[in-house]
Amino acid sequence: MKLTTMTQVTLDGVMQGNGAASDDRRNGFERGGWARGAGDDETRTFITQTYQRADAFLFGRRTYELFAGSWGSIDQMRAHPIGVALNEAPKYVASTTLTAPRWEDTTVLRGDLAAAISELKAKPGG
């Protein structure tokens, strides 16, 4: 399986709290939601197509919980093409603390995460 990463980052290197104003306010971060509405149609199409091509998704625990609480549970978001892609594909979460994933078709990766991710990458698929 090919491992592709999608990262939203500002020109000055900020990756924190880009989705909603309440996202990840650790360490005094005050600018949550900085990416909302900032993209153009071409960018949104590219992001959507990237999600649609994926055979599976790999998350860290914080991102997984954020996505499970939105793309995985809000009907309007589940119906969006990105939500459809996320809900139809297997999800993997690298976590030592998540014990009961609430999003269907989720596998928690524990222990040697490098080995677990290597196994995923060895599988066929995109």
| Domain locations in the chain as residue ranges | 26-122
Amino acid at 108: V
Q: How much is the pTM? A: 0.83
Q: Which residue has the higher pLDDT, 124 or 25?
A: 124
Q: Please, are residues 85 and 50 in contact by the beta-carbon 8 Å criterion?
A: no
User: How many other CB atoms are found less than 10 A from the CB of residue 23?
Assistant: 17
Kindly report which listed range (14-23, 41-50, 84-93) carries the lowest average pLDDT score. Answer: 14-23
- In 3-state terms the chain splits into helix, strand, coil percentages (rounded to 5) of 35, 10, 55
User: How many other CB atoms are found less than 10 A from the CB of residue 96?
Assistant: 11
Q: For the segment 58-109, what is each residue's pLDDT rounded down to a tens digit?
A: 999 988 998 999 999 999 999 999 999 999 999 999 999 998 999 999 999 9
Q: Please, are residues 32 and 17 in contact by the beta-carbon 8 Å criterion?
A: yes
User: Do strands 57-60 and 91-94 pair parallel, antiparallel, or not at all (unpaired)?
Assistant: parallel
Gyration radius of the chain over CA positions: 15
Q: Which residue has the higher pLDDT, 112 or 28?
A: 112
Q: What is the mean pLDDT of residues 24-32?
A: 72
Amino acid at 57: F
Residue 33, pLDDT above cutoff 70: no
The pLDDT value given to residue 25? 72
Residue 18, pLDDT above cutoff 70: no
